[in-house]
Amino acid sequence: MKAAILYKRAPIHTNPLVYTDVPTPEPGEREIRVRVHACGVCRTDLHVIEGELPVLKSPLIPGHQVAGVVEKNGANASRFPIGARVGVAWLHSTDGTCEFCRAGNENLCAAATFTGHTVDGGYAEFVIAQEDFAYALPEGFADLHAAPLLCAGIIGFRCLRISGVQDGATLGLYGFGAAAHVAIQVARHWGVKVLAFTRDERHQELARELGAAFAGGGEDRSPEKLNAAIIFAPAGDLVPAALRNMKRGGTVVLGGIHMSEIPAMSYDKLLYWERSIRSVANNTRKDGEDFLKIAAQIPVRTSVETFPLAEANVALNALKNDAIQGAAVLMVG
């Protein structure tokens, strides 16, 4: 099969992914082989490729936002019939027995494996998934529009949950890429007022189109105090900027898997009055299932820019340079 494979971590401007032929994988016990139709390009892929996350597999096929169809079932795999449309996301497996899994917090499982990080992912014609961790894709979403829902959408949804926003709340979104452009649609559906903070004028424009009451730069003072904020951009200096805009008792949620250093800040001026900072680590399958249901109800619409699989490096360079409006998606086959 064709795949874009990473042999050595390197800055993305060096185009480290190699488009080549690799053996087609075989599904094992309770695994499925998915023929990839579309795979979203995520900032986490950049963190993996450029070495900002630890090396857990080499060589590696990145990618963890897969929309496709079941092409082959492994032994004792029967959840999906051949030809079923499925999504494959970041969480590949957990042990199911640890204290976190038993408590419904499988996203914190120390034995978890991750698509496109610890196992090969979706920058390929085929990908292997555990059937219990794959998602049935809702009708109404073409594959290229479904792909970004499988990480950007799910992690944004978990961030919204952790933020605690409800009808009538005011929410700030810092960074307005793939995750934020989906999260704003869910937040507006819930009756939440959204303010967007992003340096790129095109992203500000998209935020306004999707219902943001305000769109300005990341360091801007908010025109009104916020109940909560979600930081999707991997920039630690946005944490004190968000706290400055926060009401008493507000929560700043950090939605990225990697972030630059958070600068020293004043406890008295920024953190006091029961303001809190929460990180988001991965997601549970329930997050994904609940999000896909509400995404179909709204319905969420994704803004995408497509690239052929052979141009994965091009797509990632565009993402690194904030040149993607919404989400980038690799089209396969």
φ/ψ of 65, rounded to 5, equals -130, 75
Class of domain 153-279: alpha beta
Please indicate whether residue 261 or residue 200 has the higher confidence score (pLDDT). Answer: 261
Residues 327, 178: contact at Cβ < 8 Å?
Answer: yes
Residues 77, 26: contact at Cβ < 8 Å?
Answer: no
φ/ψ of 8, rounded to 5, equals -150, 130
Residues 50, 10: contact at Cβ < 8 Å?
Answer: yes
Q: Classify residue 31 by its DSSP letter.
A: E
Q: What is the mean pLDDT of residues 276-296?
A: 96
Residue 325, pLDDT score: 87
Q: What is the mean pLDDT of residues 277-288?
A: 96
Q: What is the pTM of this model?
A: 0.93
Looking at every residue in the chain, the average pLDDT score rounds to 96
What are the boundaries of each domain within the chain? 2-151+282-331, 153-279
Residue tagged 């959408």 (tokens)? 153
**Cα(292)–Cα(299) distance, rounded to whole angstroms?**
10
Q: With b meaning 16 or more CB within 10 Å and e meaning fewer, what string describes 143-173?
A: bbbbbbbbbbbbbbbbbbbbbebeeebbbbb
Whether 218 shows a pLDDT value over 90: the answer reads no
Q: What is the pLDDT of residues 20-37, one digit of tens each?
A: 999 999 999 999 999 999
Q: Classify residue 260 by its DSSP letter.
A: P
Q: What is the pLDDT of residues 148-170, one digit of tens each?
A: 999 999 999 999 999 999 999 99
Q: What is the pLDDT of residues 173-185, one digit of tens each?
A: 999 999 999 999 9
**Cα(77)–Cα(132) distance, rounded to whole angstroms?**
9
Residue 200, pLDDT score: 87
Whether 210 shows a pLDDT value over 90: the answer reads yes
Q: Classify residue 124 by its DSSP letter.
A: B
Residue tagged 């075989």 (tokens)? 26
φ/ψ of 207, rounded to 5, equals -60, -45
Q: What is the pLDDT of residues 118-151, one digit of tens each?
A: 999 999 999 999 999 999 999 999 999 999 999 9
**Cα(262)–Cα(20) distance, rounded to whole angstroms?**
39
- State what percent of residues in the chain have pLDDT above 90: 96
182, two tokens:
């989906």
State the amino acid at position 319 in one-letter form.
Answer: L
Residue 219, pLDDT score: 87
2-151+282-331 has CATH 3.90.180.10 classification: yes
Whether 333 shows a pLDDT value over 90: the answer reads no
pLDDT band at 10 (very low <50, low <70, confident <90, very high): very high
- State what percent of residues in the chain have pLDDT above 70: 100
SS3 content of the chain, % helix, strand, coil (to 5): 30, 30, 45
